[in-house]
Chain A
Amino acid sequence: MNNTEQPAEKASAMQVAKAVFWSFLGIRKKDDLDRDAKMIKPHQVVIGGLIGGVIFVLSILTLVKVVTS
């Protein structure tokens, strides 16, 4: 990849989780986005996204269980 900027410091799990959560909604504050772009590495987003996807599916399932119980 041609991105020559090196991440300043490693992002925390919470920061990745927040970025993934907002991406599920499809919106993000500009300042937070800039910070994410500097600190979060692509593989963190992919892992975070997969975990987020599982949590998302489980939450819908839980909701369905509550509705049908």
Chain B
Amino acid sequence: MAVVQDVHGHHDHHPSGIMRWVTTTNHKDIGTMYLWFSFAMFLVGGFLAMGIRAELFMPGIQILEPELFNSFTTLHGLIMVFGAIMPAFVGLANWQVPLMIGAPDMAFARMNNWSFWLLPVAGMLLVSSFFVPGGAAAGGWTFYPPLSAQGGMGVDMMIFAVHILGASSIMGAINIITTILNMRAPGMTLMKMPMFVWTWLITAYLLVLVMPVLAGTVTMLLTDRHFGTSFFNAAGGGDPVLFQHIFWFFGHPEVYIMILPAFGIVSEIIPTFSRKPLFGYSSMVYATASIAILSCIVWAHHMFTVGMPTVGQLFFMYATMLIAVPTGVKVFNWTATMWRGSMTFETPMLFAIGFIFLFVIGGFSGVICAIVPIDIQVQDTYYVIAHFHYVLVSGALFAIFGAVYYWLPKWCGRMYDVKLANMHFWLSMIFFNVAFFVQHFLGLAGMPRRIPDYSLQFADFNMISSIGAFGFGLTQLFFLYIVIKCIRGGEKAADRPWEGGNTLEWTLPSPAPYHTFETPPVIK
């Protein structure tokens, strides 16, 4: 991409101390805060995961009482989805979208600050709910009634946390849409935008579509709990299955909200390290839009076992299986991009290839779950746990790691220790598979999810899974060490540390100055 850029006129003065972070409207500061917040929540969610796996290390109840175990699984899911993965992607968007489209900042800079500062409040509500009478919510991250109609104050705290997180996400999405549509540099037409920007544009529309649905659902739950309504209460004429339909109308697009930006990241990394343009750029854009549309008409595949006419089951089964088509187009395009490329295997590329390899496994087990007669067998078993961890951990999380290793030199102006970073990848790869691959076998053998104890025949695989999970957890502390070591004393990074990087951010100095593209670059 040919670029003409005015590099003069930067002024790097900004408030210092704590007030810099509280009052900042700078997209880079806010992006940094999003990323640190999401990592902190990742550690909290990871701690809960370690508790779950410690309890499941052996049969019998050792560490967690059943009620507390249920709270651990519930909060693990909620914190990882709403506190770790989603804010991490918004953080990446904050940093990268303006840099990649040649904009000076996000469109609504003050709202951006507010979007971020809502998050710690919601995070504190979720974490502190463990310490209130009755404990934290324990009805699963999907908080189905009647369980969620029964819990104590912890459930209300969770409802408010979801409200706040939803408001933050909607504001973030509006900001991203407006920035992309109105603030692109001259000459950057929609079809010249980097794929990460495209995937985020489509994700932001999905967020605006479904987050209000979630807000409505939890509000109905709240009024059922405290204001005498009976939306989901059969005794009052309501229907608990209604909750499941509305929840999953939000919940399934939510899955794609967590994976589309990951597709965008991988679509940036693979061409860079293959030293070739992305194969089938336009079909990637089409496939992303297609996946987003399909994601809105498949929700009931999460609830085949609750009772549904055969026509409904078949409809949702066929529609779900069809998502494999545009997803397959993407996997094909990534592979074709690498084909005969001058490939090198720096850390971001390792994570991107790891992503493709493991995401395909998760995708295929998803197609298996889409088949109604099989789903009825594996519903609520560890097979489903294995499936969605392959999509969300080795999918979304690996892409986030790849993105951090790809852009960290640009963010902090220093290069990380590549040997350690590669070790982080291989340890993550090995321990992830040790932890989650065996869960397929547990699920097929019939081990139910969300139980603190299990029959003896599941003992060996559970022990292996727990060892893998502990290893994976410790490896992520190693990631923290690598990042801090890089920030505090890494080698000076070049402006364009990856020779194949052709997007706009690589035209800037490293670290990226506090204010960038005050004079828009001209794309030719």
- Which residue numbers of A lie inside 8 Å of B, CB to CB? 1-5, 22-28, 30, 33, 37, 49, 53, 57, 60-61, 63-65, 67-68
CB distance from A34 to the nearest CB of B (A): 9
Q: Does B474 contact A (CB under 8 A)?
A: no
- Interface of chain A, helix or strand or loop or mixed? helix
CB distance from B181 to the nearest CB of A (A): 6
Residues of the A chain whose Cβ atoms lie less than 8 Å from the Cβ of B329: 25-27
Q: Does B128 contact A (CB under 8 A)?
A: no
One of A1, A57, A67, A68 near B181 (C-beta < 8 A) = A1
- Which residue numbers of B lie inside 8 Å of A, CB to CB? 181-182, 184-191, 280, 282-283, 286-287, 289-290, 293, 297, 310-311, 314-315, 318-319, 322, 325-326, 329-330
Residues of the B chain whose Cβ atoms lie less than 8 Å from the Cβ of A26: 283, 286-287, 290, 325-326, 329-330
- A2/B325 in contact, CB under 8 A: no
Counting from the closest, the 8 A-B pairs by CB-CB distance are A26-B287, A26-B329, A26-B326, A23-B286, A64-B314, A27-B283, A3-B189, A33-B282
A25 to B319, CA, bound (A): 13
- A2/B318 in contact, CB under 8 A: no
Contact A28/B283 with A1-B181, A60-B319, A64-B318 known, Cβ cut-off 8 Å: yes
Residues of the B chain whose Cβ atoms lie less than 8 Å from the Cβ of A61: 311, 315
Pairs A–B under 8 Å by Cβ, sample size 7 = A1-B182, A2-B189, A4-B186, A26-B283, A57-B297, A60-B322, A64-B314
Residues of the A chain whose Cβ atoms lie less than 8 Å from the Cβ of B286: 22-23, 25-28
Q: Contacts A24-B326, A53-B297 given; 10 further ones with Cβ under 8 A?
A: A2-B184, A26-B286, A26-B330, A27-B329, A33-B282, A37-B191, A61-B311, A67-B314, A68-B311, A68-B314
Residues of the B chain whose Cβ atoms lie less than 8 Å from the Cβ of A53: 293, 297
Residues of the B chain whose Cβ atoms lie less than 8 Å from the Cβ of A37: 191
- B186/A2 in contact, CB under 8 A: yes
A57 to B186, CA, bound (A): 39
CB distance from B514 to the nearest CB of A (A): 25
One of A3, A24, A33, A64 near B290 (C-beta < 8 A) = A24
Residues of the B chain whose Cβ atoms lie less than 8 Å from the Cβ of A67: 314
CB distance from A20 to the nearest CB of B (A): 9
Q: Which residue of B lies closest to A49 (CB)?
A: B293
Residues of the A chain whose Cβ atoms lie less than 8 Å from the Cβ of B326: 24-26
- B188/A2 in contact, CB under 8 A: yes
Residues of the B chain whose Cβ atoms lie less than 8 Å from the Cβ of A25: 286, 290, 325-326, 329
CB distance from B476 to the nearest CB of A (A): 34
A33 to B283, CA, bound (A): 9
One of B189, B280, B318 near A63 (C-beta < 8 A) = B318
CB distance from A22 to the nearest CB of B (A): 7
CB distance from B524 to the nearest CB of A (A): 13
